[in-house]
Amino acid sequence: MSYDIVISMLAATLRLTTPLLLGCLAGLYSERSGIFDIGLEGKMLVGAFAAAAVSYLTANMWLGLLAAMAASVLMAMIHGLASIAFRGNQIISGVAINFLADGLTVVVAIAFFSLGGDTPPMPPGGRFPPIIWPYADQIRAVPIVGLAPGMAISYLLPRLIGVARAHEMLFTGRLVEGREAAALGILNRAVPAAQVLPVAMELAREIAAAAPLAVRATKAAIRHGLDLHVREAARAEAFAQAETLATEDCKEGIAALLGKRTPQFTGR
């Protein structure tokens, strides 16, 4: 296992276990108070949705945090009312809160944002800034000495940006910002964080509007062509063209071109 994989796994472990540990602490305090809170998942979900929605609408991360706290407390009060005041079954009450949160957040998100249950990207001010540790900028510029590249980067990077530039990046360990990465060809394009999802969705819609069989054949040709000789790659493309020429999508594309209209591809 390479060094990069180990570091990525450790970083993902710290990032993903933090909310789980906080939820475990909440369950511990709840149990000490006399309630077996099986509805923690629903409360966390409602709190996360409230934070994202309010932060997006107000562009204020602190209001989003207060909204998350208020939503979680409200769900906790409902659970306490059902379990303590009405002496209901704590397990059933907690499961009901989970079901309520699962459905309510999706329905409200679709009604307000029309993104299939998701919340839109956060505007400036709606997200907490990254925490920069002291001397992090100075340490970032120092390359890790004594470790060879991992994750097949020595194979992929020269094919993306050329051998000379790959030598420079791998020998120095220099970090590359978004615009430079796009100029080098590592990325398709660099856009502000708030426009990442809209730009990606627009590109996905443009690709989805093309003929599915032709897109599939092109994708396979690009992937396999990296390991083929130019003659073998040309031969593979010729076979793919022959297959797509016999499809209904090809006939529809030609008819749409001659008729000066938008083609309606069916994937056949």
Domain end residue (candidates: 65, 98, 113): 113
Mean pLDDT of 95-100: 90
Please name which of 266, 208, 218, 219 lies closest in space to residue 241, comparing C-alpha atoms: 218
pLDDT in the model for residue 70? 94
| Domain termination residue (choose one: 113, 147, 165) | 113
Handedness of CA 176, 179, 183, 187 (dihedral sign): positive
Indicate whether 143 belongs to any domain: no
Total count of domains within the chain: 2
Residue 3, CA distances (Å) to 6, 160, 167 in order: 5, 22, 20
pLDDT at 4 over 70: no
- Is 91 within the bounds of a domain? yes
From residue 86, give the alpha-carbon distance in Å to each of 83, 92, 94. 6, 13, 14
Query: Is residue 114 helix, strand or coil?
Result: coil
pLDDT of residue 139: 60
In this structure, is residue 62 part of a structural domain? yes
CA distances 172 to 184, 193, 194, Å, are 16, 27, 31
Q: Alpha carbon of 189 to those of 181, 182, 207, 212: distances in Å?
A: 8, 5, 16, 24
CATH code of residue 243: 1.10.12
Per-residue pLDDT at 71 exceeds 90: yes
Q: For residue 179, is it within any domain?
A: no
Residue 233 forms part of a structural domain: yes
Q: What mean pLDDT is predicted for residues 30-44?
A: 83
pLDDT band at 46 (very low <50, low <70, confident <90, very high): very high
> Is residue 38 in some structural domain?
yes
Structure-model confidence comparison of residues 217 and 136, the more confident one: 217
Residue 66 is predicted with a pLDDT of: 95
Q: Which domain holds residue 22?
A: 3-113
In a domain, 34, yes or no: yes
Which residue, among 187, 179, 181, 152, has the nearest Cα to 169 in the 3D structure?
A: 181
d(CA 113, CA 54): 12
Amino acid at 170: L
Q: Report yes or no on 102 lying in a domain.
A: yes
